[in-house]
Structure 1
């Protein structure tokens, strides 16, 4: 299968959570917003397990890895895109996101949710990596244009318009583009790219 297909599989993996929520709301007979701590934790654990399994399978066919060290300009760009992302999220949340979540959640909820974020960020990274490489194979050349970010925006970003609202969808769409820019700035280095996306997604 081509790498665009792998990227779409990763996106489909994210969508499994929606099916899980539908099943859980049927079982609990209450909407997800009304779940108690135990129900939320169980949901996150199951979701992380599913995402981890899907991510592991898709990571078995990785695009070529860039191992060259980053230049000063690339480090600056990486920090620049990350700063924009965190700044927008801080405005959206009316404060520093982790602090707001820690205040509104218990210690255990907070910890497990951030493990959940790490699992989701891994699938986002796979969409970026496979999407970018797939586009470059089609173009028959490497490019700094964040095609992986564009694919992420058109899938994970736009779906938030339907699952949440237009404003959240626009925010997620733009964040996906920033993730793609960070991925390109990191020279597609897996470690730097994933850590940057994780940082931007969590904060």
Structure 2
């Protein structure tokens, strides 16, 4: 019986790292490409995002199917009567983003979506190719936030298997120590790493709000990066 419990816990931990694997591989790519000149062709950027979609989507599907198989489905449910918690999660994301940027960068940045509109529709480059690039990039964000949400949900559920304090955002802590710290290397900036670390904790804290846990988490992540 004890072996079975430990085995089940091990599988949960394995799925936490499975969900992190796309971020890890993308980080390795970022470190490698820095040593070379990244191709400037539009097709290369499109192919890169397409591969991200496929890998992110594959990992999500594998995890969701496994959750359904073991009788603990990861459902993105939203109850109409508890929409207020969605608003709370969005406000948490905005407050954390602005406060974090002011503390770390000594500046409050304009909403990312406004900066992206300028980059994609005014300042063209291989990575900013107008409407097509804008759509491709924001589809990528959708996959990224979904993966972040599932990662937090999996890590938080795993902590429950070990009977850890449910009031602590273990999912956010796991995200911060993996995806967050990883930004120090991929962005080559300690400031960016610290900022993403703190934002990860905020996203994980949104998961602890009552009701709509996964939707709250997704909305908090979107608010942090878009607004």
Structure 1 unpaired stretches of 5+: none
Match of 1:157 among 168, 175, 180: 180
SS of 1:43's equivalent in the other structure is helix
Match of 1:81 among 92, 98, 103: 92
Q: Greater shift after overlay, 152-161 or 82-91?
A: 82-91
Match of 1:103 among 118, 121, 124: 118
Max Rg structure: 2
Per-residue deviation at 1:109?
Answer: 0.8
Match of 1:37 among 19, 42, 46: 42
Match of 1:175 among 199, 217, 221: 199
TM-score after normalising by structure 2: 0.73
Structure 2 unpaired stretches of 5+: 1-9, 121-129
Per-residue deviation at 1:25?
Answer: 7.9
- RMSD over aligned Cα atoms: 3.0
Q: Which residue of the partner structure matches residue 116 of structure 1? A: 140
The verdict on how the C-alpha distance between 1:101 and 1:135 changes in structure 2, with shifts beyond 3 A counting, is same
**Superimposed CA distance per residue, residues 111-151 of structure 1 (whole angstroms, 9 cap, x where no aligned partner):** 1001011111111111100000001110166x232110011
TM-score after normalising by structure 1: 0.80
Match of 1:57 among 30, 38, 62: 62
